[in-house]
Structure 1
Amino acid sequence: MRWLLASAALVAVFAGLLRWRRPTWYWLAFGAAFATLRVLVRYSSVMDACGLTVPSPRWRLTVARMANRPIPEPRAPRIRRLRPTRTGLVIRLGLRPGQDAFDVAASCDRLRHSFGMYGVTSREIRSGVVELRMTGYDVLKRVHLPADAERTTMKVPVALREDGAVHYRDYRTAPHALTIGATKSGKSVYQRNLVAELASQDVALVGIDCKQGVELFPLARRFSALADSPDTAADLLDALIAHMEDVYQLIRAEQRITADTPDADIAADIWDLPDHLRPAPVVVLVDEVAELALFSTKDEEKRRDRIITALARLAQLGRAAGIYLEICGQRFGSELGKGITMLRAQLSVRTAHRVNDETSAAMAFGDIAPDAALATIQIPGTSPGLAVTGDASGGWARVRTPHTSLRTAVNACNKYAHLTPVLPGLAAFRPTVEPSVPLAKIPAPAPAESPATA
């Protein structure tokens, strides 16, 4: 008995330590089994208490009365599948006639409390089938992307969602994006993580960093073009528009619209071209868009109109040519001048980190998801990297980017520097990086002469 008690105490201490230091390991070792048992035992009573049951069919009630048997109890949604994951449980429910997916979504907070989970979200898979994703712990406290996260052409993982799923940036589905956030909110880390993930793909990276290049120039070995001032940015954007027009001419020449060509083979964008003809897609990263829109003189105003017009043209026409925009800034509203709201309307993916006022959140989500704007202003300053992301469909979720140090991003860019495409139209903006010299080969400075030997 003593050995049994000692072993139980040791296991309890080990489990507590594991839950504190490695919550994922604790969940896989202990939490998932306990949570599954708890859900199965409490399921019927919890569904009844949350109002997610329906009366039995009339024919069953009639048979019970005729056979003088007890009246059947109300029926809860059927559990079609229950699957543990590394962050929680995924339960697929089959709704009974008369039940609605909205009722399940409205009861998520009560289900979270009743099942003893950290969070519960729901989504409708198809008519009559709802999926509940339950998280067993705070997955956004220590973010680590799973090693088996999907990485395909122009689709990279950038963050972890609050339901434990991986948040992807899919350029072919949503070509252009806007990211806003206050200083030290994690906006730069989000951009840095995006560059590190794209570095291993056959894609041309083009950067505009008006802070004299302090954010993007350390990653210059993987960039096909970089601009560090508004004047250079204006010329670079004009060169991008010329590149876009050249790509369209290539698509026109290879459209294959003859009568004997199947419809599926007709080219309408670069992804319909053969591999040997397809130009490299281009991702344009703008670090601080406000620096491109501010002006104080007439000449700067002309430059500003030129820049905003070029960005708007790329946003409207660039997708088919394989040009995608990633625009970052602290604010992105109409006070930046004409053309800004037209440009913002083309940026379908919105990501907002911590902001300093409600107006900044409304600039990102006011026209697509007002609830997301309310969630944005509730992000605490003690959680850098925490953000709210949404799209034009109105759906949104809380995400957090794993911390990627600048050294990690630089190492990734240096490792895949040989994949940097050479774009002839942007050759003038190709950053020149001096080869790194090992510390052992750097000559030591000559010792200064002392007054006695001088």
Structure 2
Amino acid sequence: MTALWGTLLAVLVVLAFALVLRWPRPTWYWMTFGITFATVRVLIRYRSAMDACGLTVPPSRWRLALARITDRPVPEARAPRILRLRPTATGLVLRLKLRPGQDAFDFTASSDRLRHSFALHNVVSREVRSGVVELRMTGYDVLRRVRMPIAPRVETLRVPVALCEDGEVHHRDYRQVPHALNIGATKSGKSVYQRTLVAGLAPQNVALVGIDCKNGVELFPLARRFTALADNPAAAAELLAALVQYMDRVYQLIRAEQRISVALPDVEITADIWDLPAHLRPVPVVVLVDEVAELALAANKVEEARRDRIVTDLVRLAQLGRAAGIHLEICGQRFGSELGKGITMLRAQLTGRTAHRVNDETSANMAFGDISPDAVLAAVQIDKDRPGTAVAGDSSGGWSRIRAPHTTLRQAVDVCNAHAHRTPEIAELDAFRPEPPVRVLIGKIHPRSAGASAF
């Protein structure tokens, strides 16, 4: 009897420990107890959950005929066959073989019902190949406290910037998606996302070019790692014109090195910088534009002419810049046709789309209206108490919820200063090389002249 009470007490202590551990340390709880409980729950409820969600198929004709001939009960509807159930650090991955007549879209539409059936935090469905669907299920809210895993290796122009809701790392890959749009309201985490992106690009062999029309308060602290910076629309117009000249020079280099002849191997024929010899390949350029609306606003004829030049150069860089290694990352609170002629043409060239919390549905439509209505709804529903949460997608229609880690300005500055020696020089952009800011005192008494105003 004493042994029985001791066993019961030990079980109660373990259960109490598991319940206490679940809230402050959800990852520890999942790795110790959650995986076992969730696996058993999924396997027990699998058939009934599939039937309740309408993800089963009726028995085939030959099975019905065989049941009638042998006077057996009518066979039950068949659920998709489980190919693999794999635990991960954040959840479970369930791979299924579809039955004839089933569609991968049915699993996407039923993901919310499967989440409730399996008592898990989130379920995301994707088609691996024809006839095979993968359900990525998370056991806890991985976006509540973002912990980025250590990247196994660094790839050029591929930066881990956020964590997806299914536990996977979201990368900003400029080789796959050359240009992107990032919108979001004030205090939505848009600037933190941009800092994380700059901190990830700083250790790479990349030229950073910034346009920050908020008088440089966002990007100028990181100036030691930037090849060129502009802090007002007038300087931005000249900087973009210089980038177009640089792009033309890169294309001349590519044409000079093509040397197409009958004896030239196919692998040596190139139409972009990536197939050039390493000693001739120009450094790739990432252009970060903060508050793009400031570049498109015009109050008089002079500013309107300047605005037209800016938008024209941006469209030119978006259409032609990829082969020359020039990539655009455009940020703003709004990005619609009200900004004037050429804006929608520019938006059409921005394949990647990221929307942080927005104040109205119209702003979300600017990013995802032409891609996915579901992404628009997800962007509108982002909670204001979760800054950094965003919806990321591309022109293919796929999207996911992400959240960037909180990168402070001090952390980004330290990374940029540590890699300042990697800042390349580009002849066309020498005039825009950032200089250390001049200290300005506003509304304070200068220590050397007591009683004198700072103005």
Give TM-score scaled by structure 1 length.
Answer: 0.93
Deviations 1:254-292 (A, max 9, x none): 113111122232111011111111111000000111111
Shift of the alpha carbon at 1:13? 3.2
3-state SS, counterpart of residue 23 of structure 2: helix
Query: What's the offset of the Cα at 1:62?
Result: 3.3
Pairwise CA distance, 1:244:
0.4
Shift of 1:66: 3.4
Which range moved further: 192-201 or 359-368? 359-368
Matches within 5 A, 1:162-311: 162-311=165-314
Supply the distance in 2 between the matched residues of 1:93 and 1:266 (Cα, whole angstroms).
43
Mapped contact 1:112–1:119 kept (Cα < 8 A): yes
**SS of 1:285's equivalent?**
strand
Report the AA paired with residue 133 of structure 1.
R
Runs of 4+ in 1 over 6 A off after TM superposition: 445-449
1:215-239 Cα distance to aligned partner (Å, 9 max, x none): 0011111111111111111111111
Equivalent residue for 1:439?
A: none
Is 1:128 aligned to 2:128, yes or no?
A: no
**SS of residue paired to 1:418:** helix
Q: CA deviation at 1:128?
A: 0.7
SS in 2 for 1:258: coil
Please say if 1:104 is aligned against 2:124: no
1:414 corresponds to which residue? 417
Which residue matches 1:81? 84
The DSSP-based 3-state class of the residue aligned with 2:176 is: coil
Corresponding residue for residue 117 of structure 2 = 114
Paired letter, 1:87: T
Matched with 1:72 is 75
Deviation digits for residues 168-194 of structure 1 (CA, Å, limit 9, x no counterpart):
111111111111111101000011110
Shifted more, 101-110 versus 4-13: the winner is 4-13
1:151 aligns with 2:148: no
Match of 2:384 in 1: 381
Conservation of the 8 A alpha-carbon contact between 1:149 and 1:157:
no
1:286-318 Cα shifts (integer Å, max 9, x gaps)? 011111111212221111111111111101110
Q: Where does the alignment leave 5 or more consecutive residues of structure 1 unmatched?
A: 435-444, 450-454
Does 2:20 correspond to 1:12? no
* Deviations 1:355-392, CA, capped at 9 Å, x for gaps: 11221111111122222222212212111111112211
5+ residue gaps, structure 2, are 438-445, 451-455
Amino acid at match of 1:260: A
The verdict on how the C-alpha distance between 1:417 and 1:447 changes in structure 2, with shifts beyond 3 A counting, is closer
Task: State how 1:326-405 maps to structure 2 within 5 Å.
Answer: 326-405=329-408
State the SS of the aligned residue for 2:92: strand
CA RMSD across the alignment:
2.0
For structure 1, which segment, 189-198 or 382-391, has the greater mean C-alpha deviation from structure 2 after superposition?
382-391
Aligned counterpart, 1:29 = 32
**Any conservation in 2 of the 1:150–1:156 contact (CA below 8 Å)?**
no
Residue type at the aligned position of 1:365? F
Give the letter aligned to residue 169 of structure 1: R
SS of residue paired to 1:250: helix
Equivalent pairs: percent with the same residue?
Answer: 70
Rounded Cα–Cα distance in structure 2 between residues aligned with 1:447 and 1:247:
53
Q: Which residue of 1 aligns with 2:53?
A: 50
CA distance in 2, matches of 1:6, 1:405: 46
Q: Give the drift of 1:149.
A: 5.9
Distance 2:357 2:102 in 1: 38
Please give the alpha-carbon distance, in whole angstroms, between the structure 1 residues aligned to 2:68 and 2:301: 88
User: For residues 402 and 271 of structure 1, what CA distance do their matches in structure 2 show?
Assistant: 31
Quote how far apart the aligned CAs of 1:84 are. 0.8
The aligned length equals: 440
Q: 1:5 deviation in Å?
A: 3.9
Give, in whole Å, the separation in 1 of the partners of 2:306 and 2:216.
Answer: 19
Q: TM-score, normalised by structure 2?
A: 0.92
Q: Give 1:146's aligned amino acid.
A: P
Deviation, structure 1 residue 204: 0.4
* Aligned mates of 1:375, 1:54 — CA distance in 2: 31
Cα deviation code 1:187-215 (max 9, x no counterpart): 00011110011111111000001111110
Is the CA contact (8 Å cut-off) linking 1:256 and 1:265 kept in structure 2? no
C-alpha distance in 2 between matches for 1:260 and 1:448: 77
Amino acid at match of 1:66: I
Q: What residue in structure 1 maps to residue 443 of structure 2?
A: none
Alpha-carbon distance between aligned partners in 2 of 1:180 and 1:448, rounded to the nearest angstrom: 46
Question: 2:356 and 2:161 mapped to 1: Cα distance?
Answer: 14
Deviation at 1:446, TM superposition (A): 9.8
Distance 1:159 1:149 in 2: 16
Shift of 1:79: 0.5
1:313-332 correspondence runs (5 A): 313-332=316-335
Residue 21 of structure 1 aligns to a residue whose secondary structure is: coil
> Equivalent of 2:44, from 38, 41, 59?
41
Counterpart AA for 1:175: P
The alignment partner of 2:126 has SS state of strand
Greater alpha carbon shift after TM alignment, 374-383 vs 277-286: 374-383
AA partner of residue 222 (structure 2): L
Letter in 2 for 1:196: A
- Distance in 2 between residues matched to 1:114 and 1:173, nearest whole Å: 37
Distance change in 2, residues 1:446/1:391 (3 Å): closer
Q: What is the letter of the counterpart of residue 249 of structure 1?
A: Q
Question: 1:170 is aligned with what amino acid?
Answer: D
Aligned to 1:442: none
Report deviation, 1:150: 5.8
1:141 Cα deviation (Å)? 1.1
Task: Select between 328-337 and 139-148 the one with higher mean Cα deviation.
Answer: 139-148
Whole-Å separation in 1 of the counterparts to 2:43 and 2:18: 23
In structure 1, what residue type is equivalent to 2:370?
A: D
